[in-house]
Amino acid sequence: MLKYLIEKEFKQIFRNPILPRVIIVLPFVVLALFPLAANFEIKNLKVSIVDNSHTGMSDELIQKVAASGYFNLTNVSYSYKDGLKSVEQGKADLILEIPSGFEKDLLREGSTKVMISANAVNGVKGGISSAYLANILMDYNNDIRMELMPESNTAGKSLTITPLFLFNPQLKYSIFMIPALLVMMLTMVCGFLPALNIVLEKEKGTIEQLNVTPVNKFIFILSKLIPYWIIGFVVLTICFGVAWLFYGLLPAGSILTIYLFVSVFVLAFSGFGLVISNYATSLQQAMFMMFFFVITFIFLSGLYTPVSNMPGWAKAISVISPLKYLMQVMRLVYLKGSGFGELITPFLYLCGFAVFFNSWAIMSYRKKNK
């Protein structure tokens, strides 16, 4: 019985003019293009310099900023207003204002102050870019001190601070995003399609035909679930291939671990989709409900920033997001090479979700209309 039902599901999917394309093309395009777009990398910052001082020293500082590799000089203007204008027009990300008494104050009074103004509409970028610029300023300060008063230097009395970035030494953002995009693709394909599935049968009236057959609820849900489970593997494999071909990224850990987690996740999330499909009365409703939950789950999953940085209440409700666990596992296995031993907690959670959603799907499916 199950076999025929599954055969029917596949026939329905392949007969649809759009669905097979969605399943194949969407993961391909998303994985190939989006790591380039989903980029929060902070580099090539555009800096506008307001030099009120025009001295050898301010020139040196400007040179130093330009040579740092982080910044592109947009313009050197003579008033803060001009600088601000380039920020407003989006031509500059930050302004470095050198006061008119820059060199004089430094030499006579021993200290001087510059102004860094960063566009913080995007808070992360504002924070990190101004910190970069402040670092360069500190370097320049050390150079000056070394040059002008070598005796005062704390030479022989200093420490070196070196940052080292594990797992992703060049801090490429795409490497951070690829496992996450993989999760999103699985969510899209294996979440939305089941959510539309049963409700589509309701709208077409074919559900009535199924309801009069002796198929029991369990078999019915299983027959809806298995095709998406298989599609999940197809999607995952496409994503793997694209990540490797286009970005040269292979999982640091075991591929089998990833397949194992994905198989449980797809069961859980397709189950969730079926629950929605059971309750929805129209395609539109199913789509919007799913959209709502997917957005909520994605933002609770730590897509951008680690869940541990979230405020307490958000951290507490993030427990209900199945995506959070898969996201965590994907990044750990893909980027850091964690083994199954370290991932038992998320595995149990995902299994819990799979059982919970699918039992719910079976229970909420009614063969009889009230």
Partner 1 sequence: MNRLINNKGKRARNRRVFGAFVRKEFKHILRDRWTTIILLLMPVVMLLLFGNAINTEVKNAKVVIYDPSNDDATRTIINKLLVNDYFILYKTVSSPQEIEPLFQEGEVGMAIVFSERFYENLLHTGEAQVQFMADGSDPNTALTLTSYATAIVTSAQQELLKISEVPLQITADVKLLYNPTMKAVYNFVPGVMGMILLLICTMMTCISIAREKEKGTMEVLLVSPVKPLFLLLSKAVPYFVLSLADLTIILLIAVFGMGVPIAGSFFWLIILSFIYIFLSLALGLLISSLVRSQIAALLISGMAMMIPVIILSGMLFPVENMPWFLRWLGQVVPAKWYIEAVRKLMIKGLDFSSIILEISVLTTMAIGVIMVALKTFKNRLE
Q: Confirm or reject binding of residue 168 to partner 1 (CB under 8 A).
A: yes
The residue within the footprint of partner 1, chosen from 69, 214, 248, 308 (CB under 8 A), is 308
The residue within the footprint of partner 1, chosen from 15, 161, 212, 370 (CB under 8 A), is 161
Q: Confirm or reject binding of residue 287 to partner 1 (CB under 8 A).
A: yes
Nearest approach, Cβ of residue 29 and partner 1 (Å): 9
3-state secondary structure of 140: helix
**By the 8 A CB rule, do 119 and 87 touch?**
yes
The residue within the footprint of partner 1, chosen from 154, 214, 368, 369 (CB under 8 A), is 154
Q: Confirm or reject binding of residue 230 to partner 1 (CB under 8 A).
A: no
Q: Confirm or reject binding of residue 6 to partner 1 (CB under 8 A).
A: no
Q: Confirm or reject binding of residue 149 to partner 1 (CB under 8 A).
A: yes
The residue within the footprint of partner 1, chosen from 54, 172, 217, 367 (CB under 8 A), is 172
Residue nearer to partner 1 on the CB measure, 173 or 247: 173
**By the 8 A CB rule, do 247 and 172 touch?**
no
Q: CA 256 → CA 178, 233, 260, distances in Å?
A: 18, 12, 6
How many C-beta neighbours within 10 Å does residue 14 have? 11
User: First CA to last CA across the chain, in angstroms?
Assistant: 27
Backbone angles phi, psi at 47, to 5 degrees: -115, 135
Q: Confirm or reject binding of residue 113 to partner 1 (CB under 8 A).
A: yes
Nearest approach, Cβ of residue 163 and partner 1 (Å): 4
Alpha carbon distance 98, 91 (integer Å): 19
Which tokens go with 141?
């300060």
The residue within the footprint of partner 1, chosen from 67, 81, 306, 370 (CB under 8 A), is 306
Q: Confirm or reject binding of residue 124 to partner 1 (CB under 8 A).
A: yes
Q: Which of 316, 324, 267, 315 is nearest to 294 (CA)?
A: 324
Alpha carbon distance 275, 277 (integer Å): 5
Q: How many residues in total does the chain contain?
A: 370
- For the segment 266-285, give every residue that binds partner 1 (CB under 8 A): 280-285
Please identify, among the stretches 70-78, 210-218, 325-333, 350-358, the one whose residues bind partner 1 according to the rule CB under 8 A.
325-333
The residue within the footprint of partner 1, chosen from 6, 19, 32, 260 (CB under 8 A), is 19
Applying CB under 8 A, the site for partner 1 has a residue count of: 117
Nearest approach, Cβ of residue 110 and partner 1 (Å): 6
Binding mask 329-358 for partner 1 (x = CB under 8 A): --xx--xxxxx--x----------------
**Residue 283 exposed, middle or buried by CB count within 10 Å (0-12, 13-18, 19+):** middle
The residue within the footprint of partner 1, chosen from 31, 65, 76, 176 (CB under 8 A), is 176
Residue nearer to partner 1 on the CB measure, 308 or 369: 308
Residue nearer to partner 1 on the CB measure, 199 or 222: 199
DSSP 307-322: GGGS-HHHHHHGGG-H
Helices (H), 38-101: 56-67, 80-88
Q: Which of 349, 302, 91, 15 is nearest to 179 (CA)?
A: 302
